Amino acid sequence: MPHEVELQPGERVDDLLTYEMKIIQSAEVFSFSLDAVLLARFAGVPQRGRVLDLCTGNGVVPLLLATRTKADIDGVEIQPRLADMARRSVALNGLGPRIRIIEADLKQYAGTGNGIYDAITVNPPYMPVGTGEHKENAHVALARHEIGCTLEDVAAAAMRLVRTGGRVSMVHRPSRLAEIAEMLRRYRLEPKRIRFVHPRAGAEANMVLIEALRDGKPELRVQPPLIVYGEDKQYTKELLDVFYGRRGELGGSE
């Protein structure tokens, strides 16, 4: 059951819809969305070992990963306010012994050494600088735009921190897929598994989930598309299974 924590002005506690988990959110900062939930269910993670979530925001991905693995999970977030919210969300769910939230810049973060993580997840900023960030508050702009880190910064950090043979999983925009694949390979992260997410059947994909293997051999599997809404304009069964934790893993890892 959730533990008691202190909320700051403007904060609320939302239901994560799975395992009675809760999360602290605020309208003043970037809240989690479907992409983070799908990433947490798609990523290949070991049952034991060490897992890292970069750009962790308010900690939703580590919280959801904790339902799938017994590994120790670190979350790195550059924004002090979001890192504080994430720590309190971890405490709210009684997961302090397993999840550690670190306020740090991923470009400098080294953990306790390089190559120490068995798996890394990341939901990075999707948009290059100069595409509207001036219209948003600083918290939202940093989450959406490559102000604090670029795609290359993310790939470089992941290569530095994951062990050989370890997995790096990312959610991003399909429009940048060619750039993503090229950047991952530049940093010795071989794309191995891709799944496109479509808002409805017949519509273009608006998200892509991609998993890479550090120093892996070239061989890419494209999994069946994930459809969000059915013809009845309601979530599909697969989506509901993901939300409610009935389906712990979204597509099998190798």
Task: List, in order of start, the domains of the chain with CATH numbers.
Answer: 19-24+31-243 (3.40.50.150)
Q: What is the mean pLDDT of each run of 10 residues along the chain (254 residues)?
A: 82 89 90 91 96 96 96 96 96 95 92 88 81 58 67 95 97 95 98 97 97 97 96 92 76 50
Give the amino acid at 42.
F
Number of neighbouring beta carbons within 10 Å of residue 199: 14
CA distance to 72, 158, 219, per residue, from 250 (Å): 21, 22, 20
34: β partners: none
* pTM for the predicted model, two decimal places: 0.91
CA distance 62 to 45: 11
* Distance, CA of 7 to CA of 12 (rounded, Å): 7
Residues 6+ apart with CB under 8 A from 23: 13, 14, 16, 32, 58, 59, 60, 63, 89, 92
Calpha distance 213→221 (Å, rounded): 12
Go through 26-56 and write b for each residue having 16 or more CB atoms within 10 A of its CB, e for each that does not.
beebbbbebbbbbbbbbbbbbeebbbbbbbb
Amino acid at 121: T
User: How do beta strands 189-200 and 221-222 pair?
Assistant: parallel
Under 8 Å between Cβ of 124 and 172? yes
> In this predicted structure, what is the pLDDT of residue 253?
46
